[in-house]
Structure formats: C-alpha cells, structure tokens
Structure 1
Amino acid sequence: MSQTMATESYQTAPQESLRKIVLVCYILYAASLFVGVTGIVAIVVNYLKRTEAEGTWLESHFTWQIKTFWYSLLIGVVAFITFFFLIGWLVAIAGFVWFIYRIVKGFLAFNEGKPVA
C-alpha cells in the first residue's frame, strides 16, 4: 500500500512541476504586452519543457502557447509591413485582441485542469 502511494506521488511530482511551468509561461506571455522580452523567455521554456509533457493534458497548453507566440509574431510582421498602407493599425489591433483572447482562453482551460481545445 505504501508503495502505491509512493508511486503516485512520484508520478504527480513532475506533472505538478509542469503545471507551474505552464502557469509561469502564461504569466510571461501576458507580461509581454508590457515588456516584450518575456515572450521570448516563455517560448524558450515552452520548447525546452514540451517533451516532458507528452501524453498529458498539459501538452496541449505547451502547443497552444507556442502557436500563440509564432502566429502573434507573424501578425506583428504583417502589421508592420502594412502600416505604411494604413491598414497596419487594423491588423495590429486585431492581432492584439487575438493574442489576449488566446492567453485568456488558455489560462481558463489551464485553471480548470483541462486541455486547450
């Protein structure tokens, strides 16, 4: 019986560590709205820790965060290029709203202990 409990605590310890990492990454992405460099830190952490989350519900959060970063970067580049045609403002605003939506949706799913759909 004690071995069963020891095995369960051994298996949940890495998942608890990954939960904290996912939470920190959501915070870093949110902070990147004010301090851009935190998004770079978060993407590095996502790539370093994603393989540890394979097969768990947290894997979807790592993938969600990675996609959010790269698509946001792409939208930012498109906004910069189209800024000279005056449509860049609209692209930037849409990208900003989309980024906030992704962070909030991911965090809410994380807070409920669910994978991101």
Structure 2
Amino acid sequence: MANYPMNNNNNQAKDTMNSDKRRSLITYNHITYLLYVVSYFTAGLLWIVPIVMNYAKRHDADGSWLATHFDWQIKTFWYSIVWFVLGIVIIAFALGGFGVSMLTDSSNNMAIGSVLLAGVGLLIMLFTFIWHLYRIIRGWIALTDNRPVP
C-alpha cells in the first residue's frame, strides 16, 4: 500500500501531477461521491455507475493523494456488496426455515429461531448501510479538504 503524506506542502513536492489534471480528478471524485449518495434515492440503481467510473480513472491518479480516494471508494463498494449479500442470504435462509415451520406446524422454537436469524440478517444489512454511508461521507470530507483518506 502506498504511503501518502498528510501535509499539503509534502504533497506538492512528491506529487508530479499538473494542476489541471489534479483539478479534473478532484471534480471527478466529487461526482462519484455524489453518485453514491444519490444512489440511495434511486433504490441503488445508480450504485454501479460510480464504481465503473472509479475503475476507469483510478490509474490516472497513481502516485498522488487522489489515488487513495479511488481505492477507498472501490473497497467501500465491494465490502458493502459482500456484507449486504450475506445479510440477504441469512434472511432468505431464515425465512425459508420459517416457511417450513409454518407448513409443518412443528414447533414454535423453529419459528422463533427463524425470526431471530432473519433479525441478524437485517442487522447486518443495516450495519452495512450505515458503514457505507459513513465511508462515503468521510471520504468526501477528506476530498473537500484536499487530503488522502486512510
């Protein structure tokens, strides 16, 4: 992993990117952060657009503090997908068990366990939603301050 200095004076000394390209990539990152936020209001339909944009331009930022923002957004996307899908799988498994218990009319213990397991899946999805939003906000604030994200 690259080590990017936090001090703007050091950034200018080690960053060989010209100011027009830097401004362009900063604007580009503002757009991708904005698209992630807007995707919450489109039921996630726009969620794929910023990840494609990040992969398309990430190498243009190599060697600069802006590279951390591309990596940050890409990692945020993939970890969010993994955890969100895990939550969905747990819910599907739990509700599948709940449906079986209702049909067989076996015991309430299975139904209670299914509901609790579905609750765990919902908590994972809620945590993922909050974590994703936190990372987008944290990254966007760092970008606005012209600094890398950790």
Same fold (TM over 0.5): yes
1:45 corresponds to 2:86: no
CA distance in 1 between counterparts of 2:131 and 2:18 reads: 35
The alignment's C-alpha RMSD in Å is 1.2
CA distance in 2 between counterparts of 1:101 and 1:41 reads: 19
Q: Which amino acid aligns with 2:82?
A: L
TM score, norm. by length of structure 1 = 0.88
Offset of residue 50 of structure 1: 0.2
TM score, norm. by length of structure 2 = 0.69
1:20 corresponds to 2:61: no
Offset of residue 33 of structure 1: 1.4
Matching residue of 1:54:
62
Q: Where in structure 1 do 4 or more consecutive aligned residues deviate above 6 Å?
A: none
Matching residue of 2:36:
29
Larger radius of gyration between Structure 1 and Structure 2:
2
Matching residue of 1:97:
130
Question: Structure 1 residue aligned with 2:81, among 64, 73, 80?
Answer: 73
Percent identity at matched positions? 40
Q: What are the ranges of 5 or more consecutive residues in structure 1 without an aligned counterpart?
A: 1-9
Q: Look up the SS of the partner of 1:114 in the other structure.
A: coil
CA distance in 1 between counterparts of 2:18 and 2:124 reads: 44
Q: What are the ranges of 5 or more consecutive residues in structure 2 without an aligned counterpart?
A: 1-16, 95-116
CA distance in 2 between counterparts of 1:37 and 1:58 reads: 26
